[in-house]
Structures are given as structure tokens and as C-alpha cells.
Amino acid sequence: MYYQGIKKTIVRRALAPKRTFLNDMPPLLARLFLARGITHPEQLDRSLARLPSPWLLSGMETMVSFLVKAINEQQRICIVADFDADGATSCAVAIKGLQLLGAGQVDFVVPNRFEYGYGLTPEIVELVKQQQPDVLITVDNGISSIDGVYAAKQAGLTVLVTDHHLPGSELPCADAIVNPNQVDDQFPSKALAGVGVMFYVLLALRSRLRDQQWFANQQRPEPNLAQLLDYVALGTVADVVALDPINRILVYQGLQRIRTGHAHPGVYSLCTVAGKNPQALAAVDLGFTLGPRLNAAGRMDDMSLGIQCLLADDPALAQTLAVELDGLNNDRREVEGVMKHEAMGLLNDMKVLDKHHLPAGVCLYDENWHQGVIGILAARIKDRVHRPVIAFAPAGKDLIKGSARSIPGVHIRDVLSDIAALHPKLLSKFGGHAMAAGLTLSMHDYPPFALAFDEMVGKRLANVDLEQKILSDGELTEAELTITTADLIQNAATWGQEFPEPVFDGVFDVIQARIVGQRHLKLVLRLPSGQLVLDAIAFFIDQPEQWLGLRQIKAAYKLDINEFRGVRNVQLILQYLEKLA
């Protein structure tokens, strides 16, 4: 038996056999950092002073010039945001930040995904025009909005694009573009989320206003933009961008503000409805607990609700809005459960779960699927079959929308780009990253697209190791399975995407096993020949009853602390387990 029904291999991370500055720290931490390529102390420095200059971003000079003009002339500004957590936090950072820097009239528009789809489109420009702005700023979108930017320019608006998505062969005719993924951009990180890009724009704008003595002349204090970092941390982790050194700084500093009581009411309210203690919040909580509740607004209803929660200054209002978001997230879970069951039926019909019939790329469609949940569904199925997956749902007017998720080694946006080049009339719209993308098709083009996708992915899989591996940092001794070790690991670094939280492995005797919450497996474990008894939990197990009555297992796990009524105990969060006896 294998956790989640898939046989995986536990592989221990390789270590470079050389002496480094890491020898001055606890051996366990040195082992963890060395396995993640840390060789210099500055790589672990999470102070704001280590952030690179915002002026390294191409287009920043032009961007700031327009924003200075907008503030000096008190022009009306409209933010156009994306409808996910990165878009919502980007919008909050833009509005709060520009107001702190002196902009008097800042509002926002966020597309409803069910009516308008993604990004700045000509239809969204019509909504923007109702606010009669002078300046339109996109956050977390815009780099592929060729028609939308053109329509905004034709309407007489100054258009400023801030984005982090990969640009296509043609750039929009915006007045200024800041995107670290533009060709020849010199900024040292390509992994900034949309919220990080907007935060950097504000840093540059404050610097220019300071140089021009604007704050002194206006007799107003220069704002501390660090107060926006709780938003930045939430959006960065929720968007699953790589936590490179720059993002680790941004996330760490944002977490510190949350933990020390300096976050915005909306962020605190998201913690409250999720049952999380803000003082002990970790990066993983931003991605798996707060992020989904914020994302639920865009998936199930309208992201305006999420943005209003983030922007709320009144704690009571923020709490009311967070409760609504929590309810939407519960709805999302129910819908996702039904869709996953239906998707597994489709996979069985396609014989996809039979390793002898595995296609290279999997496309799934059901006329009853919810457009806002297909991204999560694609991710769940991708984890099941370890192949790139696209889940599709109806989008009206004989169109279907797809959400793609990929595996390491297959750049999903490049796959779509190659399909578009070979079949120009097949894809009407697409965009995204290496690991995730979105697209729109005509319903009648779905069969040929599915074949083209399978073929194009197949070419890339020829050089990809398809064996699913759990990367482990080795075993922990009984003396290391303590709260002290768990705290040490948690506080030593900002763990996340591409700087993964440590996972360990070992063989355990099973003292007790029971099912909780229908699909979770609660275990009491002990190392063979050991004395220490440990609590462990595995979440969302398929057929958990099959794991009852075991005597011994092999497991991969994260070392965690379970806090209940003020009492803290070590807990193993199981990532994978095998039956040994």
C-alpha cells in the first residue's frame, strides 16, 4: 500500500563534502542548508538591507516618472488586478502604498473570471472608464494584454503595466512596463510574484519622491513601506513562486510583522477563521491555509470580496469579510471533491491509471465542472499521474477554459506556445509560467488539442525522469525528534517553493492507528528499539481504513509542533508511507 495510491521512491539529498561557514552552526542545520546549495552566509541573511535596488528593473525609470506626475497632479488612478491571491495582495499593496505616498484618488477593478476572464481586456477597459481615471495600472497581469492596453490607450489613459508573467513575442503598447521576466532585464530575480513587483515599484517611487524633497515640501512624514510586507508575504507564497534569496527576505519580513502584531486587520482575520495563531504563523500556513481562503473569492464568486477584506481598516469588518471567505472556501472544497471523483472516473475510462496506457499529457473535460476549481483539480490529478494535466470547464459561447499544471522538466507555457505555433487557429488565448498556465479553446477544437498536447508533451518527456521521488534529508535520531529541533528548523530559514521545508524518513513501529475526519489517518509511532512515542498524522488518505492494523511502516515526514490549549507536542506530518508489516 502506498500513500495516495502511488509508489514513490525516497531519495536522500546529496551533500557536498567540503568545509564551509556552516560548520559553525548545529550539524543538522548545516546538513539541511548544504543540501540546498547554501555556501555563503549572505544567502541566509533575511534583512531588508540585502534587497537589491529597484532601479535594476527595466522600465522603472519611466514607470516612476509617470507615477510622480500622477501624484503631483492628483490624477485619478485605477488598479486592474488579477483574481487570485497574488492579484488581490498586489491590488492591496498598490492602493495602500500609493495612498501612503500621496495619491489621493485610487480605486480598483478586478475582473470576474466567469464574465470577463483573465487580464486587461477591452471589456475591462469599458468598466475602468466608468471610474473616469487618468491612469490605469495593471498588477499581476497586463504583459499579454495587447488588445486591452491598446483599447485603454485609445481611451486616452496612461497605462502602466506591472506583471511577472512571461512575455510573448509582442509587448503591449503601454506607457511603461515593469516585469523582471522581460528580455534583458537586469534584476537578479526572475521569481518575484506580482505583489513583489508592485512593492518594488513603490520602493522606487518613494526614493524618487525623497530625492525631490516631496515629503518635506508637503510637510508629511515619509512612509515606512515595510508595513505592506504582510501582503507581500501572503501573495508571494500563495502564488507558489520560487523562494529565492530575494523572496525569502520578503516573506520572512512579512511573517515577522504578522507574528509581532503589525499586520493588517484583514490578514489577522484570515488567521482567525483558519484557526491559526498569528504569533506562530509559518510560510506554509500562508500557502495552505490563508491563501486558499483568499483565493476562494476569485474561484467561487468575486475577488472584490477578498480585496475588500485585505483593505479593511476596521477589525470587525475584516472579520465579517473573512468569515464570508471561509464559507466560500468550504464551498470550494465540496465542489472540488465532486470534481475529483468525476475526474478519477474519466481517468479509469481512459486507462490512464494503467502504467501501460499512460499518455504523456492528460486533458480532462466535463460540461458540469466549475471554472473556478479546475486549477486545483489539475494539480490534484497531476500529483496522481505524475504527468502534465489540463482540466477544462465550459466558459460559454462554445468556449472552454483550461487550467494546466506541470511537473519538473516540462515547461507548460512553452508547450502551449509550441502548439500555438504549429496550429495557429487552435488556441485563442493562453499564458502562464513553467509549472502552471491557463488557456481558452473552442469546444470543437478540444479533441485535436488534446492530441496535440499529448504529442508535444511526449517530446519533452523523453528527457525527463518520470519516477516519482520524495527527496529526504535523511533520518532523525530519537534525540533529534524534539520540540527544540522542530523550533530550530522552523526559525532557521524561510522554507517554501524551490527552497523546500526539510523532509526526513525512517522506519517506525505503529503503536496505534485511527481515522479522523473521514479521510485523515492519526498514528502513534515509535522508532524500532526506541522509547520515545510520537504522534503522527497523514492528511487526505484514499481508503484510510486500509492502513489500520499495521505493525510497521516506512515514512517520509516533516517535523512539526502541534499546539493544543497551550500545550506543545512534537508531531510528524506524514508526506508518504509504505506498509512494511
Q: What is the pLDDT of residue 6?
A: 52
Domain coordinates of the chain in residue numbers?
A: 3-36+469-579, 53-327, 351-461
| 18-32, 38-52, 322-336, 488-502: least confident range | 18-32
Q: Give the mean pLDDT of 272-299.
A: 93
Q: Indicate the average pLDDT of the chain.
A: 91
Give strand pairing partners of 185. none
CA 340 – CA 102 distance, rounded (Å): 48
Q: pLDDT tens digits for 458-516?
A: 998 887 777 778 899 999 999 999 999 999 999 999 999 889 999 999 999 999 999 99
**In the chain, pLDDT over 70 holds for what percent of residues?**
97
Q: Give the mean pLDDT of 134-143.
A: 96
Q: What is the pLDDT of residue 3?
A: 42
CATH: 3.90.1170.10, 3.40.50.150, 3.40.30.10, 3.90.1640.30. Which one for 53-327?
3.90.1640.30
Phi, psi dihedrals of residue 366, rounded to the nearest 5°: -145, 135
Closest CA to 452 of 431, 430, 474, 426: 426
| Helical ranges in 463-564 per DSSP H | 483-492
Over the Cα atoms of the chain, what is R_g?
24
Q: What is the pLDDT of residue 229?
A: 98
CA 46 – CA 545 distance, rounded (Å): 44
Task: Using alpha carbons, list the distances in angstroms from residue 103 to 69, 71, 338.
Answer: 10, 5, 46
Q: Give the mean pLDDT of 29-43.
A: 89
Q: Is the pLDDT of residue 408 over 90?
A: no
Q: pLDDT tens digits for 104-128?
A: 999 999 988 777 777 899 999 999 9
| Helical ranges in 229-313 per DSSP H | 229-238, 245-259, 265-274, 283-285, 291-300, 304-311
What is the DSSP pairing of strand 176-178 with strand 158-162? parallel
Q: pLDDT tens digits for 521-560?
A: 999 999 998 899 999 999 888 788 888 888 999 999 999 9
Q: Give the mean pLDDT of 291-298.
A: 93
Q: In sequence order, what E strands does 406-467 have?
A: 429-432, 436-442
Q: pLDDT tens digits for 154-181?
A: 999 999 999 999 898 899 999 999 999 9
Q: Are 475 and 528 in contact (CB under 8 A)?
A: no
**In the chain, pLDDT over 90 holds for what percent of residues?**
73
Higher pLDDT, 432 or 108: 108
Phi, psi dihedrals of residue 196, rounded to the nearest 5°: -70, -40
Q: Are 142 and 162 in contact (CB under 8 A)?
A: yes
Q: Any idea what DSSP says for residue 287?
A: I
Dmax over CA atoms of the chain, in Å, equals: 76
CA 373 – CA 30 distance, rounded (Å): 40
Closest CA to 133 of 117, 120, 115, 147: 120
Q: What is the pLDDT of residue 452?
A: 95
Q: Is the pLDDT of residue 561 over 70?
A: yes
Q: Is the pLDDT of residue 21 over 80?
A: no
| 23-32, 39-48, 113-122, 214-223: least confident range | 113-122
Confidence grade of residue 17 (pLDDT, cut at 50, 70, 90): low
Phi, psi dihedrals of residue 445, rounded to the nearest 5°: -90, 0
Fold classification of 351-461 is Diaminopimelate Epimerase; Chain A, domain 1 (3.10.310)
Q: What is the pLDDT of residue 346?
A: 87
Q: pLDDT tens digits for 341-368?
A: 899 888 887 765 555 567 889 999 999 9
Q: pLDDT tens digits for 57-101?
A: 999 999 999 999 999 999 999 999 998 999 999 999 999 999 999
Fold classification of 3-36+469-579 is OB fold (Dihydrolipoamide Acetyltransferase, E2P) (2.40.50)
Q: What is the pLDDT of residue 1?
A: 33
| 30-39, 225-234, 423-432: least confident range | 423-432
Query: CA angle, 209 as apex, 207 and 212 as ends, to 5°?
Result: 110
Q: Are 579 and 1 in contact (CB under 8 A)?
A: yes
Q: Do domains 53-327 and 351-461 have the same CATH topology?
A: no
